[in-house]
Amino acid sequence: MNIKQVILQAFRDQPGNFISGEELSQTCGCSRTAVWKHIEELRRDGYEVEAVRKSGYRLLVAPDRLSAAEIMAGLDAKRIGQNVIAYDEVISTQPLAHEAAAKGAVEGTIVLAELQTGGKGRLGRPWHSPKGTGIWMSLIIRPAIPLPKTPQMTLLTAVAVAKTIREETGLPVKIKWPNDIFIGDKKVCGILTELNAESDRVNYLVIGIGLNANSVESDFPSDLAQIATSLRIESGEPLKRVSFIQRLCRIFEEEYDHYLQAGFERVKQEWENHSYTIGKWVTLQTISQQLEGRAVGLDEEGVLMVKDQAGQIHKVYSADVNYRAND
Ligand code: BTX
């Protein structure tokens, strides 16, 4: 932790209290003048810090800004989120995360931005990422798993995001196969998993998570207004993005560690429990064929099983899905 993070952690450990310059200088292992300089920097970052002679410093308001210091200060995950690279504006966090991973960034590194000018979804589709309203982040993980199992990481991520939304907001979220999080019939979050591998060895995965957190209706262009929503629209409350990310890191880490030790079964069950897709009549367009039937579950590897009208079960690895209205 750098000095700003140590100061933030000290404020967090004693919420609402004054902490003397002397105590902060001891905690940080630096002079009182250095403490003062770092407090000034925190103020420039948007923190409101009260300074009172003889009493010391007290944190009044932390900004809703996705800074590395703010996220890392209150983090209780051990690996996920222990390295945060935060930008104001990027084209997309995905290539930046690939670059960081190729240079050896540790597992759990998160690259995020307040604004993406060229956010992307699957198959090159655009992902609308306006400034300050969402969580636009890419997570680097390095699981020692064979290549065919990597789609399970998308399902695991969807479970982690769904659980975090439920815990933070109480909203009834559903996962739409394979990678969308829905509230009611609207998309609140999309997940894009990209892979770097050689023959059968996974070097790393970059998992892109795009979550509409504090967007209001007017933030969505007209083509999205009917199909997209945000946590704020649904709950009527602004979301504290920093604590959301911290909780997501912890929940992701719990799911991920359990997965690495015990396999896919728990993710499969949790995914099915949150599923929008299971039980629905679906039309699937895969690369090679069109298929219609009822989604009946995931197999033990995480592949979607669809039962057609003749009762035959088809396994679907990847497809675009359409749902029958009012099913
Ligand atoms: P997807 O291909 O499943 O979804 C893309 C589609 O979703 C678009 O074609 C559009 O219809 C709709 N859409 C676009 N923007 C939004 C939005 N903000 N909310 C709801 N619906 C929308 C989903 O791909 C994967 C998205 C991953 C985004 C993250 S953000 C961090 C990282 N960086 C990056 O460039 N992408 C990922």
Ligand 1 — pocket residues by CB below 6 A?
Answer: 92-94, 116, 119-122, 125-129, 136-138, 179-180, 187, 190-192, 208-210, 212, 224, 228
Residue 231's domain comprises 68-273
Ligand 1, closest atom to CA 187? 20
Q: ipTM of the predicted structure?
A: 0.99
Task: Output phi, psi for 233, to 5 deg.
Answer: -60, -45
DSSP 105: P
Judgement on whether residues 20 and 159 belong to the same structural domain of the protein:
no
Judgement on whether residues 160 and 267 belong to the same structural domain of the protein:
yes
Closest by CA position to 293, among listed 322, 257, 260? 322
Judgement on whether residues 77 and 131 belong to the same structural domain of the protein:
yes
Against a cut of 0.90, is the pTM above it? no
Nearest CA to ligand 1 atom 14: 127
Judgement on whether residues 53 and 103 belong to the same structural domain of the protein:
no
| Domain boundary pick from 273, 290, 307 | 273
Q: Which residues contact 128 (CB under 8 A, 6 or more apart)?
A: 119, 220, 221, 224, 228
How far apart are the CA of 299 and the centre of ligand 1, in A?
26
pLDDT in tens, 266-295: 999 999 999 999 999 999 988 888 999 999
Judgement on whether residues 7 and 84 belong to the same structural domain of the protein:
no
- The verdict on whether residue 226 carries a ligand-binding annotation is no
- Which parts of the chain sit beneath pLDDT 50? none
Q: Is 324 exposed, middle or buried (0-12, 13-18, 19+ CB in 10 A)?
A: exposed
pLDDT in tens, 195-205: 999 888 899 99
Q: How many residues does the chain have?
A: 327
pLDDT in tens, 101-157: 999 999 999 999 999 999 999 989 999 999 999 999 999 999 999 998 999 999 999
Q: Residue 165: its pLDDT value, please?
A: 98
How far apart are the CA of 191 and the centre of ligand 1, in A?
7
CA distance 167 to 230: 16
How far apart are the CA of 243 and the centre of ligand 1, in A?
22
Ligand 1, closest atom to CA 128? 15
Judgement on whether residues 106 and 225 belong to the same structural domain of the protein:
yes
Q: Peptide bond preceding 148: is omega within 30 degrees of 0, i.e. cis? A: no
